[in-house]
Amino acid sequence: ERVVEVGDLARLDPDRVRRKGVPEVIYAPGKSPADTARLATVMSEAAGFALVSRVDADHDEALAAAAAAAGAEYERFGSGRRLVARGASRPQPAPGGPAIGILAAGTSDVDVAEEARMVAETMGVTVTTAYDVGVSALHRLAEPLAAMLKDAVDALVVVAGMEGALPSVVGGLVSAPVIAVPTSVGYGAGGGGLAALLGMLQSCSPGITVVNIDNGIGAGASAGLIAVRAAAARARAADPRPV
């Protein structure tokens, strides 16, 4: 397995996506914009792409400049960023391949939801999204959720702040695994995501798994792994010959 050393700054793992199925993600907070851009550039050259999480405006400026200098494509996913090296190819999901749906309760939850999309799509998963479908106007949920179920998504990521009710509602309606993501959106006591986290952990809807507050990266990875394995099982059932 390769380890790419970047001076004394980091030891990158460009083969993780092949070994684990989930790419390494560079966590921007706590790193200078220059160091973040340097790591992303080296990773994109080694792996063909680089993912960066929780980017602020200064990180974004440095990353965009580094991508332009390297001739890499620069893509924004909420607070996440992806650099795709010149000539590198993205995974292309096949019909009937791995697929997930991502639901966000409110527009304040979209940054977290988009980081989940960034990870899952980089894993070769087809992602369908529906945002601003929270419980304050529950009729908004019916149509996009029905479309996801018609498409037979393998898992659902459901992102919500405030009291965190949306995953429980969705979990009571679907048979697919639900990955619930509490966000740090809320007022006063229980704000910062704690009320949403505890509500999701106490859900009486079966089949819900809860990740940490604002952890769209972990939710996208978990849902992606479920979807990839489900698609592999479908492929084996369709063609059971030894590979």
Task: For CA atoms 107, 109, 112, 113, give the dihedral sign.
Answer: negative
Looking at residues 117-141, what average pLDDT do you find?
94
Q: Is residue 220 within 8 Å of residue 79, measured between CB atoms?
A: no
Please name the residue that has the structure tokens 């998963």: 125
**Which of the 8 DSSP states describes residue 12?**
E
pLDDT above 90 for 17: no
* 241 has pLDDT over 70: no
Which of 25-29, 102-106, 211-215, 236-240 comes out lowest in average pLDDT? Answer: 236-240
- pLDDT of residue 165 exceeding 90, the answer is yes
Alpha-carbon span 110 to 143, nearest angstrom: 19
Residue 52 pLDDT > 70, yes or no? yes
**What is the DSSP secondary structure assignment for residue 209, as one 8-state letter?**
E
> Mind listing the pLDDT tens digit for each residue in 196-221?
999 999 999 998 999 999 999 999 99
Task: Give whole-number Cα distances, 223 to 40, 101, 127, 154, in Å.
Answer: 24, 9, 10, 8
pLDDT at 54 over 60: yes
Over range 145-151, report the average pLDDT: 94
Average pLDDT of 167-172? 96
Q: What is the pLDDT of residue 56?
A: 96
Coil/strand/helix, residue 118: helix
Q: Which of 180, 233, 225 is nearest to 206 (CA)?
A: 180
Q: Is the pLDDT of residue 235 over 60?
A: yes
Residue 133 has pLDDT above 70, yes or no: yes
> What would the mean pLDDT of 33-44 be, rounded to a whole number?
95
Put simply, whether the predicted model's pTM sits higher than 0.95 gets the answer no
